[in-house]
Structure 1
Amino acid sequence: MIHGATIRVQHPMRLVDPRHLAQLMSLEDQEPTIAMVGGIIGPRNATPASAAAVGTEQEGPPGEEHQSFPWVVTLLASVLITTIVVDVIGNLLVIVSVFRNKKLRKAGNAFVVSLALADLVVAIYPYPLVLTAIFHDGWIAGYMHCQISGFLMGLSVIGSIFNITGIAINRYCYICHSPKDDNLKYDKLFSNSNTMCYVVLVWTLTILAIVPNWFVESLQYDPRVYSCTFAQSVSSLYTITVVVVHFILPISIVTYCYLRIWILVIQVRRRVKPDSRPKIKPHDLRNFLTMFVVFVLFAVCWAPINFIGLAVALDSRLALAIPEWLFTVSYFMAYFNSCLNAVVYGVLNHNFRKEYKRIVLIIFKLHC
């Protein structure tokens, strides 16, 4: 006993089950509690930074503790608020633009609308809950909201990468194979009805991919990122499967498609392309470059957190070598990606940029 307060040794990196939050909070209100972390008496939520790898349950070296510094909390909140605002406004502009502009109302852009919806989902529900957790330094929304939030986050990221894969396949078929090609007729393969079926298939596969998380109870609150998210410590095999199937495999398919397109573009530029090969129109090339940038940004933003999880799953000893700040930065980089696509369309695509201006002017006139 120290001054009548009980010392409880907390497990350094155990994720919090929101079902027990209310019970824990009531106990803490009744009895003053000091948490001992890594041999040092510190804050109640202190956790060792050295054990901040994904969901690890190993003890870190003494003397290091997790603290929510005011400037860190302010920075994370600012990043998330910016993400939410740009995400909602930008992706609504994308969806409205596609439906308003005939030039944008192509079959292939159905995947663009679907991708915008995937990004919009997280800004409407999970991100505000994460922002609330940041302001309250803990999850206060309860168990059910935690599960729904984690489910929607997974739905968004998997739906995004599957839609990006669909866009890449669509661009590959359109650019690398002429509509007159006997082996592949683009207009028939990507008719409006067929494309809608592909979009439905994308979301069906997305739901099937995220449902197992409920059975393995991998959606848990992680205080390091103030989020109910995929706990990669539940099962090493399951984590490896998730990373490979949900990230590495789709990224490999997209890379192959875009690599073939780049090879064709280089051949056209150097005039070594056989006459039998399809030609590339300038606007098709610009559209391809736009979607290529979308893919690169997604890969850059989501690669760190996926490779951290994969590395720790393959060798749990690496958990101690990964600093907590890297884990947190990796997560918020991934969150930030959801607001980038609409900005890329506006910067690189003339039709989207023109439609954005029209929509903003219409709203401004109505407001005035």
Structure 2
Amino acid sequence: MLNSVINPAGPPPVIRWPADGVHNDTGDSAPNATNLSHDMVFNEGHVVTIVTYSILMVISAIGNITVLSIILKRRRKAGTRIHAMLMHLAIADLLVTFLMMPLEITWAWTVQWVFGEPLCRIMAFLRIFGLYLSGFILICISVDRYLAVLQPMRLYQMDRRGKLMIGVAWIASFFCSLPQSFIFHVERHPNVTWFEQCVTYNAFSSKLLELGYLYLSMLMMYWLPLIVILFCYASIIVEIYRRSRESICGQGTDNVRRLGFLGRAKSRTLKMTIIIVIAFVVCWTPYYIMSIWYWIDAKSAMTVDQKVQRVLFMFACANSCMNPIVYGAFNIRTRRTLVTQKSTMVIS
């Protein structure tokens, strides 16, 4: 017997009607709490969702609006590529903050979907778009830093390349999110007919096709950004280390100064890399561990406490709170630091 929809707090690509659960042998389709499963009524898990998302929304809004306002002021005077990318990262995280998070709060409050078919499809697209865009902009920042260090003689191409990468990030996010608006739709519960939910039930012709879509989504949203970030910043550290070794063989004041800067740059890049990778892994890994569990064995995954499930799914959105802290702290620097960096022409 089909049961209620599971609506994990967070942006899972697929939500479906799980098996096992509410039985309505009387054929009564009228609202009656005694006929409903735990997931179909407002419970402690929904309270956790509302409270946690509200806190995340406030933190993310303050952090990203602060970073965005600082960047806009700096860009009027002397904007750089990294400022432009950080601006788009903040915009992506604000999309998550003001579109996805309020949706999750409202959805947890109403439990079922009460906004109709068109908004179901539109919000399914929007709730995932900001997350894709945030991940792709992180890729742009990593690649930009990589090219700035390993190809410093081609700086004249970097501005145009930076704009191109940002454009590709927006377009890729659109197309990666677009399937959501086709597979999500409003369904009535097969037994409790007054209960409607925005789900992907019956959207796939086979289990294999569904799993293919799920794992492709995981590849684009999790593995691709993680691999690119690791590769780019590891290469940067190796290159800075190589240059510092070459400087040791040089003589004179200029080489001593350059060596000192390279040491500081290596230390700063290493710290930034560690924090970026830890933040990304900590935010996204719990979400995908729980997601994969659902994809492989939904029945056993449902035995996990609902509050625990919702907290794990919400870790993904926490990345929008971490981005302004990590990238703002390391890339929005004082004018004095910027002048020092320009004079050395290392990591522009």
Report if TM-score (shorter chain) is over 0.5.
Answer: yes
Deviation of residue 76 (structure 1)? 2.8
1:153-172 matches, within 5 Å, as: 153-172=127-146
Residue 4 of structure 2 contacts residue 37 of structure 2 at CA under 8 Å; is this kept in 1?
A: no
Task: Work out whether 1:298 is the aligned partner of 2:277.
Answer: no
Residue 143 of structure 2 contacts residue 232 of structure 2 at CA under 8 Å; is this kept in 1?
A: yes
Match of 2:20 in 1: none
1:350 to 1:151, Cα distance in 2 relative to 1, 3 A: closer
Distance 1:151 1:204 in 2: 14
Residue 120 of structure 2 contacts residue 184 of structure 2 at CA under 8 Å; is this kept in 1?
A: no
Residue 219 of structure 1 contacts residue 229 of structure 1 at CA under 8 Å; is this kept in 2?
A: yes
User: What CA RMSD, in Å, does the superposition of the two structures yield over aligned residues?
Assistant: 4.0
Secondary structure of the structure 1 residue equivalent to 2:139: helix
Match of 1:343 in 2: 325
Q: Read off the aligned partner of 1:248 and give its amino acid letter.
A: W
Paired residues in the alignment total: 295
1:314 to 1:261, Cα distance in 2 relative to 1, 3 A: farther
Extract unaligned runs of 5+ from structure 1.
1-8, 18-26, 36-43, 48-65, 222-226, 355-368
Deviation of residue 84 (structure 1)? 1.5
Deviation of residue 314 (structure 1)? 5.3
1:220-239 matches, within 5 Å, as: 235-239=210-214
Match of 2:3 in 1: 11
Match of 1:32 in 2: 32
1:2-151 matches, within 5 Å, as: 11=3, 13=5, 15=15, 30=30, 32=32, 34-35=34-35, 44-47=36-39, 69-70=43-44, 72-101=45-74, 105-151=79-125
1:273-284 matches, within 5 Å, as: 280=262, 282=264
Residue 107 of structure 1 contacts residue 195 of structure 1 at CA under 8 Å; is this kept in 2?
A: yes
* TM-score, normalization by structure 1: 0.65
Q: Read off the aligned partner of 2:175 and give its amino acid letter.
A: L
Deviation of residue 241 (structure 1)? 1.7
Secondary structure of the structure 2 residue equivalent to 1:351: coil
Q: Read off the aligned partner of 2:158 and give its amino acid letter.
A: F
Distance 1:295 1:348 in 2: 14
Q: Read off the aligned partner of 1:205 and give its amino acid letter.
A: A
Residue 220 of structure 1 contacts residue 231 of structure 1 at CA under 8 Å; is this kept in 2?
A: no
Deviation of residue 348 (structure 1)? 4.7
Residue 232 of structure 1 contacts residue 309 of structure 1 at CA under 8 Å; is this kept in 2?
A: no
Residue 302 of structure 1 contacts residue 330 of structure 1 at CA under 8 Å; is this kept in 2?
A: no
Q: Deviations over 1:164-209 (max 9, x none)?
A: 111111111223x2523xxxx2x13312x33212211111111111
Task: Work out whether 1:327 is the aligned partner of 2:334.
Answer: no
Distance 1:318 1:353 in 2: 55
Higher mean C-alpha displacement, 297-306 vs 154-163: 297-306
Residue 5 of structure 2 contacts residue 16 of structure 2 at CA under 8 Å; is this kept in 1?
A: no
Distance 1:75 1:154 in 2: 21
**Aligned match for 1:262, one of 200, 217, 237:** 237
Residue 64 of structure 2 contacts residue 94 of structure 2 at CA under 8 Å; is this kept in 1?
A: yes
Q: Read off the aligned partner of 1:153 and give its amino acid letter.
A: R
Secondary structure of the structure 1 residue equivalent to 2:313: helix
Deviation of residue 300 (structure 1)? 1.7
Deviation of residue 137 (structure 1)? 3.6
Distance 2:231 2:327 in 1: 23
Deviation of residue 281 (structure 1)? 7.1
Secondary structure of the structure 2 residue equivalent to 1:11: coil
Q: Read off the aligned partner of 2:230 and give its amino acid letter.
A: T
Deviation of residue 115 (structure 1)? 1.1
1:165-314 matches, within 5 Å, as: 165-175=139-149, 177-180=150-153, 185=154, 187-191=155-159, 193-215=160-182, 217-218=183-184, 235-265=210-240, 271=245, 280=262, 282=264, 286=268, 289-290=271-272, 293-313=275-295
1:343 to 1:264, Cα distance in 2 relative to 1, 3 A: same
Distance 2:170 2:108 in 1: 31
1:240 to 1:124, Cα distance in 2 relative to 1, 3 A: same
Deviation of residue 91 (structure 1)? 1.5
Identity %: 20
